[in-house]
Structure 1
């Protein structure tokens, strides 16, 4: 992950007016290089960065362990790992700015208000979409003359994403299209390790773990539903604002995308048992989830049938 500390950068102002928190002139020039690589070579990435800058976010470097960066809405800061390569940081910058754009479009950063089934769909789709935008920027930078550094960094990190995008391209060097963006989105779901990391963060810690206060009293959680169509229509958008999931708006309902660790299902059962004892409506939406390795693999019509079957089971139940 170590960046070549002897690398020098052109003395050029950033094309997108982010606030920069840097402790050196070289640091400022590095920020400008990251921003301008996107602005010069990727219309998709540029549109995402402009949203974050217009929302008043600043950029700051810091040393991190095992992470390329993250966004903190409370301080309106995007933190980037100063030890990472420029290729990784450019893709990460677009990814984190996409989260800001998602929130601007009305998607909350917390998921406790959602029934667990929809928290699974939303938390994963947000990450897959953010990675899709990072991958789209990496691809455009590569084909528009900005070099392969960002693309190669992404390939190192997530080979299924870049492989899928290239397979979906109409030809070598073809312009970015919705099929390629869908392939990038799908590629994120092929990394079970990263999915489980987010499961532990979003579902185990934030949703289920946060559903009770320090005295084990249930909070007002699990009360909002949101369909796959509503989710992808809200934030799976290209640079022109068109939904790149058009034609498959129910994509998040596919059973293979609704697989979780068994411990999530077990914890959901315990949490909702406590809710029943407290006189609260139980969230039974987790009955629509599958333990890893048990979901139907036929997709398509089979996936639609599975969703309808689950809906029928839940009809009339308290939630």
Structure 2
């Protein structure tokens, strides 16, 4: 979370306008709420589920899904503050997301799809620790391509969650089964859109997850706030071939914007986040020196 000093510095780069200062204030408030929600999830997880294994950092996720999953199904959520995944209704969007990945996995195991087993994702934010666990599990089985909105906060939270997963696996003795998250995380193939020469309000705001014949589309971000604090929807529809073509075309255009999620390049971020990025890198370097001292 940014300190007051960080906020002053970041805000000075965003814009000299009142609109820019207000936008920055809103962004910081949203990040603070997201960080609080993530901390609540980790506290709940630590207190209630110390198990880890079977290729999942949170073992209970291996059987998670929706009560119905067919083209035409509609998924929705409203603010609940709920941390317990099992308490979420069967038509919650996060359940649908897990079901889509499980479907891709079942097809892979049955040998019916081969190259068609690829998951394509448009992603504005990727901070939900349970979604990250899912991606870390499936990325070793079939390709996952993510077109991402470049946001330093997302990179920070992915690293923090990966570090926590590592400690969790070490504590349970399951590291040999699951692998180290710092190795797995970059099996997720991510490319970031560019915001260069665009206005400060520009963003990659698409949200969607596609396999060859089914797609989840809607407002749902892959964030903790979306799961716990927002009104959100997703629809399960038949995949449009043109949608796959459009994704793959943009993917090729972003070939030079491949993201190392644990060590992202500064030039992938918008300029107004460069100073905050430098401060983050300095903090990580200092922490690494302290651990090796």
TM-score between both structures, scaled by the size of structure 1: 0.27
Q: Report which of the two structures shows the higher radius of gyration computed on alpha carbons.
A: 1
Q: More relative contact order in 1 or in 2 (CA 8 Å, sep 6+)?
A: 2
Greater fraction of residues in strand: 2
